[in-house]
Amino acid sequence: MTASTPSAGTPTPPGASAPVDGAALQRIVASLTDLADDGSVPRNVRRGAQSAKEELAKPRVALDVRIASAVYALDDLANDPNLPTHGRTAIWSIISSLESLQ
């Protein structure tokens, strides 16, 4: 065991951001793609899911800003009265996953 390797249980210091799991972000993008391709949800919801996916893909914007922008867009979609229950549940799940990355 070398002294330079931190243990897995080492907490992140205050003010430092924890590393983001790239696989988790890829799963969120895949979920947004599924929602954008779902023909049973209204067109505005599919466009909104695509817009949230594009927000997450902006490489020059800080990750926390991208996540906040995507959550904001999805939150508006979740309140659509024409949205089927499974679509609303998918949006809430995606929002929850995004918030866990912050």
Q: What is the pLDDT of residues 31-75, one digit of tens each?
A: 999 999 999 999 999 999 999 999 999 989 999 999 999 999 999
Look at the alpha carbons of 16, 32, 96, 71 in this order and tell me if their dihedral is positive or negative. Answer: positive
Average pLDDT of the chain?
Answer: 83
Which CATH number does 22-101 carry? 1.20.1440.50
Measured distance CA(67)–CA(10) in Å, rounded: 25
Assigned token pair, 68: 């906040």
- Six token digits for residue 59: 């490489």
**Residue 20 has what pLDDT?**
61
5 confidence band (pLDDT: 50, 70, 90): very low
